[in-house]
Structure 1
């Protein structure tokens, strides 16, 4: 399929996506667990994502992402492709502070998902951490301002913490302004998010993990102090 020109690949992919969705719905959740169809979801989403500049392909990705029968790991990849396209539709000149693009990212990757469910969707948080810097120097402030639900606030905080942790690992420390935002994020994690995390079975608390790692790094003394004051010494 990758070798086909778009005019041939797109119609074929749309037919495959429609048929796949029909079969998922016919199987239902119980039978799907035993079905090899699950193994096709990521390759199908990836193939569609390569053609996401096409409006009909984006509609197909939307449909797959909205299906309760699509596995979250495949859904996260579909939403990442859609987020990239939605960012591309907003010109930087029309959005100099990144506010529109921040809302587009959060609406696409998080939407109305409650925090408890977001804790089982780590790919969405990694996508947000990867896409947010395209908004410019004020990206983290723009994300924080656009986060109007607990899940979106967690996502914005986690994206910042993940980006800082990845930067530290690559020898590229984050800006001082971002470190200040991390202290506020730690406060929300301690007071608002951790009680939800504690109730979930096998949650992916990427924010908490990143904060604990960063708190042990030089230059993050204020974050480390906030964690220690809560009885949580940063990870060595």
Structure 2
């Protein structure tokens, strides 16, 4: 007679999807279209990037077509990465130089970066089912960071996905830029996404963005 397996005996969620992850048909089709047009691009689920002993996790929404989908490193190759990595360098969460390519030698210090959805979505807008399919990898990433204390979410979609990845209701946290709340053993800080749209319209300024990471640093130093 076969023996049953208890939930506690199940393996933990993987922190990284397969290189040819098949979970989301729409994203697979988009990935293959990009592969056909640009075979020299990365064109796959963007892996997390950073320090495996990080106490700070930064969670974006999804790779940009011309950013991480092209280069294979989160927030690398599009405007959002300029503001993010310059801020991390300024606050001591990175060292080296950001040159918008994965071989620029940039290193993260006490920090990891990932996305709620790992494949580039058409129009930069993942569907709810795609967020759900990919959440296991966000859960796995969080669980793989033994020293994690602070999570910075870039945008409310990222914030809701982090809460769900932690087994909480999406409504459990506080929305809006600069919000701060406890989620299980972690402190979550939410920022507007560092997209060109938000910065060009003045919805997000560099000082506003830096203030979120200054608060993260204060929490870790404290």
TM-score range, shorter chain: under 0.3
Highest Rg: 1 or 2?
A: 1
Which structure is higher in RCO with an 8 Å CA cutoff and minimum separation 6? Answer: 2
TM-score by length of 1: 0.26
TM-score by length of 2: 0.27
Structure with more strand by fraction: 2
Structure with more helix by fraction: 1
